[in-house]
Amino acid sequence: MRKGKFLIILVAAMVLALGVAMLYSGCGEEKTEEKEAGAKEGGTFNYCLNAEPVSLDPAQLQESEGIAVGKALYDGLMDNDPDTMELVPAMAESFETNEDATVFTFKLKEGVLFHNGRECTAEDFVYSWNRVCDPATASEVAYHLAPVKGFDEMQAGEATELEGVKALDDYTLEVTLSYPYADFVYHTAHPVTSPIPKEVVEEVGSENFNENPVGTGPFMFDSWTHEQQVVTSKFEDYYGEPAFLDSVVYKIYMEEETAYQDFKAGTLHDCQIPQGQFAAAEAEFGDHALFVPMMGIYYYGLNVTAEPWKDNKELRQALNYAVDRQTLCDVVMEGQRLPAEGIVPPSIPGYQEGASDYTYDIDKAKELLAEAGYPDGQGLPALTLGYNTGGGHEDPAQFIQGNLTELGLNVTLEGYEWGSYLDLIQAGQVTFFRMGWLTDYPIMDNFLYPLFQSASVDNFTMYNNPEVDAMLEEARSTADEDERLELYREAERIILEESPIVPLMYYKTSRVYANNVGGYIRTADDLSPMERVYFIEE
Amino acid sequence: MGANGERLLEVRGLKTYFHTQAGVVKAVDGVSFDLDRGEALAVVGESGCGKSVTALSILNLIPDPPGKVEEGEVIFEGRNLLELSDREIRQVRGNHIGMIFQDPMTSLNPVFTIGNQIREPIQIHLGLSRKEAKQRAIELLEMVEIPQAEKRYKMYPHEFSGGMRQRAMIAMALSCEPMMLIADEPSTALDVTIQAQIMELIGRLQREINLAVMLITHDLGVVAGVAEAVLVMYAGKVVEYADIGRVYYNSRHPYAWSLMRSVPRMDEKRERLLTIGGSPPSLINLPPGCSFSPRCPFAEEICSEQEPPLVEAEPGHLSACHFARDFERHGKGVED
Amino acid sequence: MLIFILRRLYQTVIVVIGVVLLLSFMMTIIPGDVAQMRAPKGATEEMLQNIREKFHLDKPFFSRFWIYLKGLPTFDLGDSFTYKRPVMDIIREGLPWSIKLAIVAEIIIIILGILAGVISSVSRYSFWDVLVTITTTILVAMPIYWIGRLLQLFFSQWLSWLPAAGAPPPGTAFFTGLKYYIMPAVALAAISTAYVARMQRSSMLEVMRQDYIQTARAKGLSNRRVTYKHGLKNGLIPVVTYIGIDFGVLIGAAVLTEIIFNWPGIGHKVYNAVLQRDHTMVIGTVFVLVLIFVFINLLVDISYAFLDPRIRLGGGQEVT
Amino acid sequence: MRLPDHGGPEDLMPGKEQPDLLGPEIEEFELELEKEQIHGRTALWSDVWYRLRHNKLAIVGIVIIIVLFLVAIFAPLLATHDPLYSPLYDSTVSSAEKAGAVKQTPNSEHWLGTDQLGRDIYSRLVHGSRVSVEVGIVAVLISLLIGLLFGALAGYFGGWGDSVIMRSADIFFAFPTVLGAIVIMTVLGPGLINVFIAIGVLGWATIARIFRSSILSVKENEYVEAARAMGASHARIIWKHIMPNSIQPIIVYATMGVGGAILAEAWLAFLGLGQQLPAPSWGNMLSEYLVYYTTDPWMMFIPGTAIVLSVLAFILLGDGLRDALDPRLKGSV
């Protein structure tokens, strides 16, 4: 009898567990009506970071977390308009460029102060840029200044100063490039190129500047508790509009899911929406869930030097017609991505609609497959589709596999962890691979040149087209914006037609912010300018 | 059986059963006996005959479940121990009735000092202070002939030899000056020489402090010098109950008789010891009739049909055998 | 006793060196070019070579191993490839969190595990016993990260009682801070609590049928005193040993818990370090973890001897 | 020494006990009872089966395990859908239907609902049982192979080989398991075969230890001495004489190890190091559905319950086996 009771309890416990699960069906929180907007000065904003920043030294700002904090601490010559990503002056009053886009002259604003109270001058830019390029600094992001004349000599240790950077006077900075590159001015909006005060670097030591950062940005550094938080406070003497907030605390989370929980609990004022909850978040937070198209492309690459992709444009095109981007974006990604028929996303100046005519057309795909010599997939060896695990790439990969199976191909999936993934792709062991590309600057060049220029190290598809190479170089040396963009557009069309990649989706941000917050936006480079944010009077 | 003293304990129709899934184990099935002040009674039988259970039943120490005292009375100083509350019976245990167990190696708690363990009942039952209790404990250790008692008091059981431990157990059992001591095979686990010392000690204490002793053993040899009466048990029942001389020399039950002959004795020359064939029966499924009949060398037809009652074979000598009254003739006839 | 300790120490050293050797070797054969991962966009082969040199990656395996070994006695574990700071600094930041979490988990294990074990052994087959038995068995059978998620679902998502994750931010009051510990500690403690409860129960049952318990009862002690004085002290011996050794395990085994609960501890870091091919970080962290583990083992062995007087003087009994 | 067919919940406990406070004679008596009355003979395996049969929890375990194996064997027959099929991939399905095809709650068409890609969860669950069974068996076999070999070498021959092997076992013990698995999996790369190897390799040390100590206790027995005296080879002595007498704790450990391996597959999958997609495995399913734990928490309970039940079953059987093989055996959880 005792055992009878025991078994009954056992079964009951199991049933109960299942029952609870079944009964529960999305009884989301009641949506609270937003109060009448009224900006309030002050307050502490808890900003969510999804990893520990690698560094807060501008010379080491490389990943989104570091840059998010860096953007608040440091200002540069130029900035991107948060709404349009267009270039706008920051510390520069104005700039001029010569005919072939090799010399840039920046006129600086007067009275810009560092957080330590000293005025920032052109010399500080010279010092800071030299520091970034100095091999002793061991910057992994010095490449932002790679076009500057003297960069290579500096990196090789043959020079101690950048030949191409000169302070003509306190408020004039002249930059000479080693090759024509009209879009260089966009680089000066990147926080790596921000000025820092020499005396602070010398006082704390270059290595420790990371822990004692001083800049000209709207917020000052207070403290950094590793793996937990970075605290910044409002810089009262900011040269631009001072921030509304008293301070911003960057809270470090390792896991999106848990951050989201804390956001819902009110601990955080913004955070990423975890994958799989986009629709729910949109329903729950309405226009406080920000899905803004980003400066990046999610694609599957084909190694065009490897079988079966080699010399078989039709086969590659067939794939492009076989994938159902709309369903992928709408259903699998819950509308959190934009279907990509081109390479350059809509948030980039110069974006062209209909860069390719790849739509979901299984019949067309089958036709092309037959033309490629594999009618209904016959004769085509089994394909292995590679992706890196753990980043939410599993569902798109399975979906693409489903699409290609429908086309008649035999596809298996192979998940790799990121650490070995790039190696295997470059070694040519993975020839059909998932890849994403997020750019540093909102320029078309930054999509086309690194990915498809034949000598670029990031050209994973091994695409090599002399015509495209020439066009990209020409575009770089074209100072005229319209002409330049037209060249890029044409290059994009050619690349797409040759189909070394299957573009799938454009990234969108997936950020939510709290109900009592105003002025919060998400930019195409997935940042939120904190100086614009304020709390709303309850 | 010595009915000459003041009656201390009366056990009447004691039945202790264990309820297992295989069935009801009748470990003790209707046992009755008496014990006077200062008297020593030996309870004898093979392993599994119910003698230890009888002892545990007296102190109501049978684990429930699965065991249960089903019937019977244990009258100790006029009170039925089986009807006492938990609290009341605890006042009897260790206080009025002390008990020692077979294996001194395992009967002492290894993680407490000897002194701590002896002190415990003194403090609880006699309400002595810690210091007084310590004084008393040391006296007790001296009483049971443990040398350097003061030093030994602080030692742990594993630092004691087997014989020492049993002495310590006795000291502990006698710490509250009980009227009765139950000794459950107190010497079985010890060396032969130590055995004798322990039995001697028990005998001495019994005489000196007028202690009633219930001595449980499977070995009749060791009780010879101590016990006055003997209760022989088999398969949960009393099969013979008489004073020691009668059981030794004039047994009226074939089981007891065989037991006597299975013990080497100094005073008798025998060519070989008798062994009892077979093994004790299952207490769940007792053979019909006399439980001992399957192993009994003298069994007759009636033995496997009717259960023999416990009768007075001669005055003051109870036996549960169909042939109890004329056992001598009957038995000898077969053996010789 | 001294010989016993010395022998254990010698074994400890062997184990630690063995772990470092094994790990160094495995990190070497892991596919993935560290330089490639560390290199910036558009890096040249020359730059890659510089990185390799910087991290000694160009040297043969044994010379690299030797470089490690030389640093170990002074806890010079090199610089992390990812964070570019001394590994020891990063460990110093993370380890206290891991230890604090392990301590809270250990408290839960001790209180709940022992309590549950004792309760179910005292009242066998009672409702509580059955409940404890079912719960413990199911807990052992549950993937720990699922336990974590369920806790978050119930206590954070549905009931909003506890913060979903993270460590208490600096300056949090003690009791508010404690709320951050509850869920990760419970998840971390779950399996061990179940083991301890099962162990405590059977150990108690084992003890409670020892002869000395019968002796104690025959002395007229109350059930409570018999159980909690005579029973528990004996019944605790194997459990305490387990709990002690488990403490070392808890510090190092919290990888999944720390990931799910965003705990800034060391397990989390070492997991990321493996994925980032941060050799120095992986080896350094595991070295420290193993050191803690074997050191705690050593302590447990020694303290075991003091808990059980039988071993205290006898000196022979080795606990494995 | 225990009541013959005790089957209370305490059978779950690592150290099986008998009713407390029975006098020694009762225990002896019970021994008699078991030997004589119930069995009549003392053949080991029939004893084991007898005791196991009367342990209700072990029976629960056995029943679950049988069901698990049957499901794994007959998965294609039991499944109602192709576990890989999703209407999302189907060019004949309209986009409106596609939108409604994912994360359906259980219904008559999809008994356990559909997953985030619109696949039938029930069918994936049924097919996923195969992975769990395979991982459980193969990983444990690998552990056994390595563990028994090294355990035998260490225990039987002793000497420096013993030291080396046992120190290596120490090293494996000191190594945090999860971390060990992560490192091995990153070395080998993901995939089912590598999951077998990683879990298998990590389990050898315990088995080697158990086997070594039981060999040590059996080795000096007279029958082994006798066999040695008669010139039997080492392999023969180990196989014929020592193995049958030291294998009991190994069987118990291996049984529980199957449950452990199923669990390990689950957390490896959680770390993205498990079976390759889209093949269903319970670990993959659980970590996939975990993502939706706030919006569709019912999803994770399906593979979760399946994992818990099957791990539970092997623990129950392992506990039962331990009691049945040797009621006095303790502590080898």
pLDDT digits (tens, 9 = 90+) for D293-305: 878 889 999 999 9
Residue A58: its pLDDT value, please?
92
- pLDDT > 90 fraction of chain B, expressed in percent and rounded: 0
Q: Which of C50-59, D70-79, D183-192, D314-323 has the lowest mean pLDDT?
A: C50-59
Q: Which of A204-213, A418-427, C130-139, D38-47 has the lowest mean pLDDT?
A: D38-47
Of residues D131 and B246, more confidence is placed in D131
SS3 state of residue A149: coil
Instruction: Choose the closest CB to D9 out of C129, C140, C253.
Output: C129
Look up residue B55 and give its two tokens.
Answer: 């002892």
Q: Which of A204-213, B223-232, C93-102 has the lowest mean pLDDT?
A: B223-232
Residue A486: its pLDDT value, please?
92
CATH number among 1.20.1440.230, 1.10.3720.10, 2.60.40.10, 1.25.40.390, domain C94-311: 1.10.3720.10
- Give the amino acid at D69: F
Quote the minimal CA–CA distance from D73 to chain C in Å: 23
SS3 state of residue B131: helix
Strand arrangement of the beta sheet that strand A39-40 belongs to: A39-40, A534-536, A517-518
pLDDT one-digit tens code per residue, C262-272: 788 888 788 88
Q: Using CA coordinates, name the residue in chain A closest to D93.
A: A327
**Residues on chain B touching C223 (C-beta within 8 angstroms):** 86
**Residues on chain A touching D99 (C-beta within 8 angstroms):** 330-331
- With the CA atoms of C207, C208, C212 and C213 taken in that order, what torsion angle do they form, in degrees rounded to the nearest 10? 150
Q: Using CA coordinates, name the residue in chain D closest to C142.
A: D308
The pairing of strands B180-184 and B97-100 is: parallel
Distance CA C162, CA C159 (A): 8
Residue B330: its pLDDT value, please?
54
Confidence of residue B265 (pLDDT cuts 50, 70, 90): low
Query: How many contacts, defined by CB atoms under 8 Å, are there between B and C?
Result: 76
Mean pLDDT for all residues in chain A: 86
**Residues on chain B touching D21 (C-beta within 8 angstroms):** 61-63
Quote the minimal CA–CA distance from C175 to chain D in Å: 27
Of residues A244 and B335, more confidence is placed in A244
CATH number among 3.30.1330.60, 3.30.420.40, 3.10.105.10, 3.40.50.2000, domain A293-508: 3.10.105.10
Residue D3 confidence (pLDDT) above 80: no
In chain C, where the domains are located: 2-87, 94-311
pLDDT one-digit tens code per residue, A11-25: 555 454 444 444 443
Strand arrangement of the beta sheet that strand A289-290 belongs to: A270-272, A511-513, A289-290
Smallest CA-to-CA distance from A382 within A357, A365, A401, A358 is with A401
Q: Which pairs with CB-CB distance under 8 Å and at least 24 residues apart come from A169-173?
A: A169/A122, A170/A108, A170/A121, A170/A122, A170/A123, A171/A93, A171/A107, A171/A108, A171/A109, A171/A110, A171/A121, A171/A122, A172/A105, A172/A106, A172/A107, A172/A108, A172/A122, A173/A77, A173/A105, A173/A106, A173/A108, A173/A122, A173/A125, A173/A126
pLDDT one-digit tens code per residue, A361-390: 889 999 999 998 888 888 888 899 999 877
Instruction: Choose the closest CB to A398 out of D7, D95, D277.
Output: D277
Residue A93: its pLDDT value, please?
92
Residue A213 contacts residue A53 (beta carbons within 8 Å): no
**Residues on chain B touching D19 (C-beta within 8 angstroms):** 63, 65-66
Chain C neighbours among A 411-430 (CB < 8 Å)? 417-420, 422-424, 426
Q: Where in chain A is the domain with CATH 3.10.105.10?
A: 293-508
Q: Which residues of chain C have pLDDT under 50?
A: 312-320
Quote the minimal CA–CA distance from B185 to chain C in Å: 13
Residue A36: its pLDDT value, please?
43
Mean pLDDT for all residues in chain B: 77
Q: Which chains touch C (3 or more CB pairs under 8 A)?
A: A, B, D
Residue B244: its pLDDT value, please?
78
Q: Using CA coordinates, name the residue in chain C closest to B88.
A: C220
Q: Which CATH class is domain A219-292+510-536?
A: alpha beta
- Give the amino acid at D84: L
Residue A409 confidence (pLDDT) above 50: yes
Residue D43: its pLDDT value, please?
43
**Tokens 């570019």 -> residue:** C84
Chain B neighbours among D 304-333 (CB < 8 Å)? none
Residue A421: its pLDDT value, please?
82
CATH number among 3.90.1150.10, 3.90.76.10, 3.40.50.720, 1.25.40.10, domain A6-34+77-201: 3.90.76.10
Q: Which chains touch B (3 or more CB pairs under 8 A)?
A: C, D
Confidence of residue D72 (pLDDT cuts 50, 70, 90): very high
Instruction: Choose the closest CB to C220 out of B91, B107, B109.
Output: B91
Distance CA B20, CA C177 (A): 53
Quote the minimal CA–CA distance from B323 to chain C in Å: 40
CATH number of D127-285+292-325: 1.10.3720.10
Q: Buried (b) or exposed (e) across D128-142, using 16+ Cβ within 10 A? A: bbbbbbbbbebbbbb
Rounded to whole angstroms, the maximal C-alpha distance in chain C is 86
Distance CA D145, CA D126 (A): 29
Residue C37: its pLDDT value, please?
64
Look up residue A193 and give its two tokens.
Answer: 């190129």
Q: Indicate yes or no: CB of C165 within 8 angstroms of CB of A261.
A: yes
pLDDT one-digit tens code per residue, A248-275: 999 988 777 778 888 988 889 999 998 7
What ipTM goes with this model? 0.72
Confidence of residue B269 (pLDDT cuts 50, 70, 90): low
Q: Using CA coordinates, name the residue in chain C closest to B172.
A: C219
Residue A486's CB is within 10 A of a number of other CB atoms, namely 15
**Residues on chain A touching C170 (C-beta within 8 angstroms):** 225, 228-229
pLDDT one-digit tens code per residue, B162-221: 778 888 888 888 887 788 888 887 777 677 777 777 787 888 878 888 888 888 887 777
Mutation target to probe the A interface, by most A beta carbons within 10 A, among C33, C36, C41, C278 is C41
Instruction: Choose the closest CB to C253 out of D178, D283, D287.
Output: D178
Q: Using CA coordinates, name the residue in chain C closest to B178.
A: C219
Residue A269: its pLDDT value, please?
94
Q: Indicate yes or no: CB of C212 within 8 angstroms of CB of B107.
A: yes
Look up residue B140 and give its two tokens.
Answer: 């007790």
